[in-house]
Amino acid sequence: MPSRSGTQLSDREAALLSGTPIRRIHTTSSHIRIMDLRSMLNPVADGAAAAAAAAAAAAQAQAQAQAQTYLKTPQRTVSLVQPLTTQSSHSPPAQKTPLPRTASLPVQGTQYRRESTASVSPKTMPPPAPVPYQTPSPVISRKRSLSHLSDHQHTPQPAVKKRKYDPKSPPPWARRERDGYRFVQVPKTGPNATVNNSITPQMQPQTHANHQSSHPPPSAAATNLHQSLPPEPRFEPSIDNNEPYNDMERAICDFLFQNVILQDMQFSSPTKFEIEAKLGSIKDWQDERLRLRLPIITDAVLDPQGPRPKFESSMKIDQHSRLNKYLNSAVQQSQRPGRRPIVYKHLRETDYFYDIPQMALHLVDPVVLEHHNRSGKRGPPRLRVTRDNATNEITAVIMKTRLHDLEVRCPNDEFDFRVSISLETQWTHPGWENFPEHLDHGVRTSRNKDRLSYQHQGFLVDLTQVTPFAKQGEKVEKTHELEIEMDVDRLIEEGYKNLNNQPNEYENLIHVFLNNVKVVNRAARAPPQPMQPPR
């Protein structure tokens, strides 16, 4: 600014002449002192100058208080969030320094000092101090990822759970819909997958409609996707869309049909058929101490017209114990809702056998006597009298006649089994008490039976421990037997429907009958023994 004399004035002199106050800041370690240069040049001030001085003094006091607060409050905490920097006219803008990826959340009370470099090796990091429980927060991973290229923090995705495989369940290709499995359409998750051609058949067990699952319900998008896909068509049972019959089941169906359904027997006494399957062992033709061996790996029905091997219907005590536990467990499981309960009964009885003398044979039903003579058994027919051990009451007096047998060899199970057809005739005539007792080589044949009986859907499973008669001081060996009986009246009813080409359950009854034999036979298997370490 030029002066009156034409000389150039400095900025300081120009400010003094124009009345603008110039403040000089004297900074010390304890306070800040602000001086007004105009008051030094013009010591005499009017009223306006006094008011300005008072305002300057108030501003000086406020600035001094702020300066003391700023100087006495050092910044000692470090935050993960980058602080905002105030720019001044004498300093350049601060450069944004990215946070190191190896940094961890601040821990209160930690005295460890971090290294100056941002690349910290996990081996040189101090051990973590115990942190009190607090609300979970996102954890910063120490592994490098693509998130360092973005301003957003990387959120780790949950690990995909692998589907567990049950070794006891059949493979997917061997599962059947009637066993509770169905095809479920699952879309592929690949980037090039489409809705029309991305369906793979997978098997999942069907669940009841009102079953409450512990897993969270699927999302709406997944539900809509499954509902929008067409159902997978079921496989046809064969090339001609017909279910082929099972050879073993059909052989037993024909065996019972020929010898029970088609037999028009007219009995003159109360007589009924008995059909039962007994577990046991088919003995070798040459050595009856050995079980019959055949070059087969699955169950096979022996030809009833061929040579008849010996069948021994007995088992060991440990096998009896395993079957007892299995059947008791089946009783408990059958009490659940939706199941048909198993009726359990424990019987303790004694059987006595009497020979029917020649003078009483005219009392025997002619049809029954004819079948007895045809069976090839030596000796007269016998009566079996059963008494209850607790009350000594007679529960049955019957004459049992064996008609036909069919043996099935089971190479994979503990036992084979034999399906037998017999006639049971009730003896209604008096005077049987005078019949002679049946003897086997001079030994009484009476036996004590401890029987556990399980009844389910018209089928009867009898697990019996038999103690034969023994003389005083003679040691006897107990035998154990298991037999499964069928409801013959129901079988004959369904067989007549089949004979008249009516809808029937004849084959289904025999199917369930054989299923009971199979599950009981497999329950008698010994548990696998642990492998011994090599010596």
- How would DSSP label each residue in 89-133? TTSPPPPPPPPPTT-----TT------SSS---TTTSPPPPP---
Report how far residue 204's alpha carbon sits from residue 206's, in angstroms, rounded to the nearest whole number. Answer: 6
Q: Which domains does the chain have, with CATH numbers?
A: 1-36 (no CATH), 247-523 (3.20.100.10)
User: CB of 409 within 8 A of CB of 294?
Assistant: yes
Torsions phi, psi for 366 (to 5 deg): -60, -40
User: Among candidates 182, 175, 180, 172, which has minimal Cα distance to 232?
Assistant: 182
User: CB of 294 within 8 A of CB of 284?
Assistant: no
Residue 389: per-residue pLDDT: 94
Residue 164: per-residue pLDDT: 56
Joined together, the tokens standing for residue 94 give 């601060």
User: CB of 311 within 8 A of CB of 402?
Assistant: no
User: Among candidates 138, 153, 158, 157, which has minimal Cα distance to 101?
Assistant: 153
Sequence-distant (≥ 6) Cβ neighbours of residue 368 within 8 angstroms: 267, 269, 271, 381, 399, 401, 423, 425
User: Among candidates 160, 161, 181, 186, which has minimal Cα distance to 169?
Assistant: 181
Residue 81: per-residue pLDDT: 42
Per-residue pLDDT tens listing for the chain (535 residues):
444 444 455 555 555 555 555 454 444 444 444 444 444 444 444 555 566 667 777 777 776 665 554 444 444 444 444 444 444 444 444 444 444 444 444 444 444 444 444 444 444 445 555 545 555 555 444 444 444 444 445 455 555 555 555 666 665 545 555 555 544 444 444 444 444 433 333 444 444 444 444 444 545 555 554 556 666 778 898 999 998 999 999 999 999 999 999 988 888 889 999 999 999 999 998 888 899 999 999 999 999 988 889 999 989 999 999 999 999 999 999 999 999 999 999 999 999 999 999 999 999 999 999 999 887 777 889 999 999 999 999 999 999 999 999 999 999 999 999 999 999 999 999 889 999 999 888 888 899 999 999 999 999 999 999 999 876 667 788 999 999 999 999 999 999 999 999 999 999 999 999 999 999 999 998 887 777 777 6
Report how far residue 210's alpha carbon sits from residue 56's, in angstroms, rounded to the nearest whole number. Answer: 84
Q: Which helix (H) or strand (E) holds 327?
A: helix 317-333
Residue 60: per-residue pLDDT: 72
**Identity of residue 26:** H
Q: Are strands 416-426 and 394-409 parallel, antiparallel or unpaired?
A: antiparallel
Give burial (CB, 10 Å; 0-12/13-18/19+) of 49.
middle
Residue 170: per-residue pLDDT: 60
Q: What is the pTM of this model?
A: 0.57
Integer angstrom CA distances of residue 298 from 278, 319, 413: 19, 22, 10
DSSP assignment letter at 258: I
User: Among candidates 287, 259, 233, which has minimal Cα distance to 422?
Assistant: 259
Report how far residue 438's alpha carbon sits from residue 351's, in angstroms, rounded to the nearest whole number. Answer: 11
Integer angstrom CA distances of residue 336 from 178, 340, 515: 21, 8, 21
Joined together, the tokens standing for residue 208 give 């009841």
Report how far residue 319's alpha carbon sits from residue 428's, in angstroms, rounded to the nearest whole number. Answer: 39
Residue 33: per-residue pLDDT: 47
User: Among candidates 390, 443, 411, 413, which has minimal Cα distance to 517?
Assistant: 413
Residue 280: per-residue pLDDT: 96
Residue 472: per-residue pLDDT: 62
User: CB of 349 within 8 A of CB of 455?
Assistant: no
